[in-house]
Structure 1
């Protein structure tokens, strides 16, 4: 099977992100990525990206490590931002970078209360 048409998704996890929202989204990608419930990332792949290598702590206290730096978001078809209990004084700088530069096809903001991405915008 070739990688033509393979969906590539990046996840940016905000500080105190909602673990359930992230886990549910990834599980849907996992199920869609292969046939026969084998959980192989054939039709789509996903990575957690971040501006630095510091662990990202969810609202329930579970820490997650980014797999690679954000870098150039154009290598992904979608950039999904998983929010949660975000402090008002903080902003998600990688989100601004991904959406203002316009290289990613879509920037999606995901909320635990939404049954689907709460907003997907085409940058630029």
Structure 2
């Protein structure tokens, strides 16, 4: 899979993630700390989260959100930051200038996308 294909798939994952999180909130799900991504958390803090949904669509949304949170926490901090800002939260252009040089940013972004997609494949596609 090329970088361009992986990036496109990651955009779809981010779109589904945001829609799932929004659906959980709109449907009155009890949003707990585990659903709100925190870049400072370790991946083991997401690994054993209990699903509280009452129907299959809520449980699937919970599972998807937590799977993405877990995958993000498996990444290096700089990779996690890049993916969060570029794909999941659509930060303003140039947000990375105070963190990375241009070459470091693009190199790290490419590696972050690659690693995230490898985690996704290892987790049986969420």
Structure-1-length-normalised TM-score: 0.27
Greater helix fraction, Structure 1 or Structure 2: 2
Higher relative contact order (Cα pairs below 8 Å, separated by 6+ residues): 2
Greater strand proportion:
1
